[in-house]
Structures are given as C-alpha cells and as structure tokens.
Amino acid sequence: MKLEWNIVTAENSAPGMEPADASEQMHIRIEKRGKLLASGEEPYPVKLDRSHSLAEIRAKYPDLEPDSTTGDVVGVVGRVVFVRNTGKLCFATLQEGDGTRLQAMLSLANVGEERLADWKALVDLGDHVFVHGEVISSRRGELSIMADEWKMASKALRPLPTLHAELSEETRVRQRYVDLLVRDEARQMIYTRANVTKSVRETLDSHGYVEVETPMLNLIHGGATARPFETHLNAFDQRMTLRIATELYLKRAVVGGIERVYEIGRVFRNEGVDSTHSPEFTTLECYEAYADQFTMAERMKEIILNAADVVGTRQIETPQGTIDLDGEWRWLGVYPGLSEAVGEEITPETPLERLLEIGDKCGVKTDPLWTTEKAVIELFGDIVEPTLLNPTFVYDYPPSAQPLARPHRDDPRLIEAWDLIIGGMERGTAFSELIDPVIQRERLTEQSRLAAEGDDEAMQLDEDFLRALEYGAPPMGGIGLGIDRLVMLFTQAGIRETILFPLLKPEAN
C-alpha cells in the first residue's frame, strides 16, 4: 500500500504560508530514509552509546586553547542545526534539548571515504545524529568533537524553519515543538513556569500545607461562577462536568481535619478565548483553618515575592511602567475606588439607573438587566482595575461578587474578599470563607435560581458540600491564584505563550 503524505511545514512568515520547496524537500528526505534502510542502517535506532551531554562537555572544557586536543573520547547526540560540507572536512552544529550547541567535525582521514560520503548524502538539517570522537578545539578556538564515527539517531522528514527567521505567533502556539526547537525564549518559558510552580509549592510546604488531588469529573459544578464543560459517564449513565474550581472538595478536606491544604491543578471553563483567558488553565487553591482574608493576603504576598526571587527580579518592566513588588501593596475598597475614579460618591445604595448612566458616560458597555451589585463590579473592573499597576488588594466587595465568601464583620452590605490586581489584571483572589451552612444554603439556592433562569455561569446547589459544612467547618481563609497569570506577570507574555500546548481552533484543511 502506498502511503499518502500530508506535507505541512512550519512557516516563517504569514499564517498558511509554506516554503515553496517544502513538499519537494520532504519527499527527498523520505527517499533518504529508504536509502538508510536499504544499506542496513536503522534511521531510528533504539539506543546509542551516548556518554556525555553537550552541556557536560561545555562545562568540562570552558576555556580550551585553540588548535588543541584533550585525549577525551566521547559519544554525543544532538540535532543538526547547521551544516557545512566541504571536500575532505565537514562541519556541523549539534543542539540538544536545553539549547546547548557544540560543533562536530568529520574528516576524510578519521571517518573514511564511504562514511564521509554518506554524511554528505544522507544528513539534513533537523536530523538527530550520534557522533563519537575526541574533544578538541579547532584552529579558530571552537570547542568541537573530531568524529571517528557517526550514526543516524533520528531522521527528520520535515525541514526545519530557517533558524534566524521570525516564526509567526500562529506557528509558535500551534506547532509548539517547532517553537521550542528554534526559539530560546520558548524553551526558557518552560523552565520559568516550572520554577515558579516549584516555588509556590515550596512556600506553602514551608507553612505546613499538605498537597492533595481532588476530582476533575464532578457531578455538580461549583466553587466559581463559570460555564462548565459537560460530558457523560457511561458506567453510571450520568451527566458529568469537568471541574471549574477545586474549592469545594478542598473545603471538605478542611472539615475533615486537614487544616492546611492546597492543590495545583487544571480547571476547565467553557468560556471565551483571548490574550488573558483559556478554556483550560492551572490554578492554585489553598485553604487554612483559623485564618481570614488578611492572613491569606500575607500568604499571597509571600508566594509572589518568593516566585519573583526565583525568576530573578522584583521590578517588572511593562509598557505601562515599572511594577515594583518591593513597594507598597495597597488596599483599595471597591466603593471608594470607584467613587474616586468617577468623581462622585458611590455606595451600596446608589440606584442602578445612576450606575448605568455613569457606565455610559465612561464608555462601559452596560446591561439594564444588571443588579446594582453587578453594575458596581462591572464598572470597577472596566474603569478602575486597568489603572492599578502596582500590587493592590481590592476588597470590600458586594455579596454577589463571591457567593462563597463570609459576610463582612463590620458592614453587612459587604463580604470579606479581595482580588489582587497587578499590572491592571487580576492575579488571584481570597476570602474569609463562609462556613455558616444556613447562609451558604441561601447563597447556593439563589445561585440555583439564577441557573434555572438561564445563567450559564451560576453555581448549582451542592447538597454534599452543604452536608460537610453542617458537620462544622472551622473558620478558614482561602486563596485562588492563576499560575498562568503569575507567569504572565513575570514574563509579560500572553496566556497562549505561558501554556505549553494551548487549546486552539482546529486548523482548516
């Protein structure tokens, strides 16, 4: 049976554009694979005698004198990213996963006429090759392997993009494997994210928190106001949803006596896709018994400062100015902050009609079906939040903002919750958690009513969660922090850059 090849390559210019000779190049490479097999050489061997990484060799010989030898014979593997074939001496630059590069030299005298000819005929840019030989320094002082043997480690059938050309954003996110191959910044993003996540764990572990895992498949979605993804469990013939938050299960753990608990994991929300939102993303949620919103503010500050130290700076340059994490972490009430921004006093008693007028005046898209609380939240988000460059705890929200937050200890019109805004964007949130099962039932019943009226983002009534609270939950504080948005803060990249393989619209065939 003849195989049909879908020849699509990474482009270097506009989306959908390919190198004119991409199809021809791929067919040539497929023929070379066949020649390797016909000669008895495996183009994809199961194992090679690799003795050192390229990084290990560079670390061992940082300052080798030009035109010198070491007597150190090694076996290395790397992807060919540059090749120059001359008469009796060929040069290649090999690259390994972390971006480390090392030169390989193949001479007629060392590898023989047949193997030098095979190299010239069969090796292309993008191939993984094994090279065995002595570590030397070339006449120009380039650390190199003088090969006495080489083998194909993996034949690349698709040509690499030109390394010095700029990949389009579409290619960078859709073909992330190519992005990682050619851009140091893409590889660095992976390490930055890993280090930030590790730092978050270390900070919480140092305070006695226990990391747990909670279900991704839920019978009832809750813990946030968001539209869920739905699926079906055949074993129970049961509608299920993918979790939109980890909150309700983590609180169950606190009820059970795990007084400091956290989870870092993927959540799924069936909503918009843009530069700051993804349908699947990673959150940290942590809960601490006998803590409140102010305790959790200190935890959040420590988490972010420790992560900043791992990244290497507490001053972050943005187009709007420098974010100074060492400066004041301000507290700003929702109603005072909105009042200052619009030039008149806004209180929980301000009529909806006036709030809508203010929104229209400020260019905010309003909805006459909003409640007064919803209008205040939306106006603050559109008018005030984008102006908050340095860390600001926005607090004293109206109750509908967070149905799982405790009523305010001093003002019954408000709740004990804050959002942390840095660089004009929400990075995380925290509550003094609502533990009164009677009030919680009232709040979730109201959410169920909204859901019945067509609100796709409203929570459902979770009887098992309420039953857990009825056993007696200790006073507690909780944090929700977007890991993606934390990495975005430090790197100033969009969310699609910080997620290794973001969800994208399917490619058109």
Is residue 283 assigned to a domain?
yes
Q: 214 and 98: one domain?
A: no
* pLDDT interval class at 259 (50, 70, 90): very high
How far is it, in rounded angstroms, from Cα 64 to Cα 61?
A: 6
How far is it, in rounded angstroms, from Cα 425 to Cα 429?
A: 12
Q: Give the neighbor-by-neighbor strand order of the sheet with 230-233.
A: 217-218, 238-242, 230-233
Q: 90 and 143: one domain?
A: yes
* pLDDT interval class at 509 (50, 70, 90): low
Q: Which of 111, 141, 158 is the last residue of a domain?
A: 158
Q: 291 and 187: one domain?
A: yes
Q: 414 and 477: one domain?
A: yes
Question: What pLDDT sits at residue 10?
Answer: 43
Instruction: Let me know: does 60 contact 100? Beta carbons within 8 Å.
Output: no
Question: What pLDDT sits at residue 322?
Answer: 97
Is residue 378 assigned to a domain?
no
Distances (CA, A) of 425 to 15, 23, 391, 489: 29, 45, 10, 9
Percent share of the chain, pLDDT over 70? 95
Q: 195 and 58: one domain?
A: no
Which of 483, 505, 438 minimizes the C-alpha distance to 192? 483
Distances (CA, A) of 45 to 32, 149, 175: 15, 15, 25
Structural domains counted in the chain:
2
Which region holds residue 375: left if phi is over 0, alpha if psi is between -120 and 50, else beta? alpha
* pLDDT interval class at 9 (50, 70, 90): very low
Q: 499-503 — which CB contacts under 8 Å span 24+ positions?
A: 499/278, 499/281, 500/176, 500/190, 500/193, 501/176, 502/173, 502/278, 503/273, 503/278, 503/279, 503/280
pLDDT at 116 over 90: yes
The CATH number given to whatever domain includes residue 210 is: 3.30.930.10
Helix-helix angle 483-491:184-206, to 10 degrees: 130
Least confident of 105-109, 170-174, 249-253, 406-410: 170-174
pLDDT digits (tens, 9 = 90+) for 447-471: 888 878 888 788 888 999 999 999 9
Is residue 373 assigned to a domain?
no
pLDDT digits (tens, 9 = 90+) for 314-365: 999 999 999 999 999 999 999 999 999 999 999 999 999 999 999 999 999 9
* pLDDT interval class at 224 (50, 70, 90): confident
pLDDT at 13 over 80: no
- Across the range 463-480, mean pLDDT stands at 96
- Both tokens assigned to 75: 């076996």
pLDDT at 8 over 80: no
- Across the range 293-301, mean pLDDT stands at 98
Q: Quickly list DSSP for 112-157.
A: -HHHHHHHHHH--TT-EEEEEEEEEE-TT--EEEEEEEEEEEE---
Q: If you average pLDDT over every residue of the chain, what do you get?
A: 92
Q: 54 and 87: one domain?
A: yes
Is residue 231 assigned to a domain?
yes
* pLDDT interval class at 14 (50, 70, 90): very low
Q: Which domain holds residue 493?
A: 183-329+390-498
* pLDDT interval class at 17 (50, 70, 90): very low
The CATH number given to whatever domain includes residue 109 is: 2.40.50.140
Instruction: Let me know: does 265 contact 229? Beta carbons within 8 Å.
Output: no
Question: What pLDDT sits at residue 11?
Answer: 41
pLDDT at 497 over 50: yes
* pLDDT interval class at 181 (50, 70, 90): confident
Q: 113 and 192: one domain?
A: no
pLDDT at 169 over 50: yes
- Across the range 372-399, mean pLDDT stands at 96
Element (H, E) at 183: none
- Across the range 427-434, mean pLDDT stands at 95
Q: 56 and 99: one domain?
A: yes
Q: 188 and 154: one domain?
A: no
pLDDT digits (tens, 9 = 90+) for 66-108: 999 999 999 999 999 999 998 899 999 999 988 899 999 999 9
Is residue 232 assigned to a domain?
yes
pLDDT: which is higher, 297 or 460: 297
pLDDT at 117 over 90: yes
Is residue 376 assigned to a domain?
no
Q: 453 and 410: one domain?
A: yes
Is residue 380 assigned to a domain?
no
- Across the range 28-44, mean pLDDT stands at 96
How far is it, in rounded angstroms, from Cα 193 to Cα 402?
A: 29
Question: What pLDDT sits at residue 7?
Answer: 42
Residue with tokens 């992005």: 179
Is residue 210 assigned to a domain?
yes
Q: 146 and 54: one domain?
A: yes
Q: 55 and 97: one domain?
A: yes
Residue with tokens 């400062």: 305
Q: Which of 158, 191, 222 is the last residue of a domain?
A: 158
Question: What pLDDT sits at residue 4?
Answer: 44
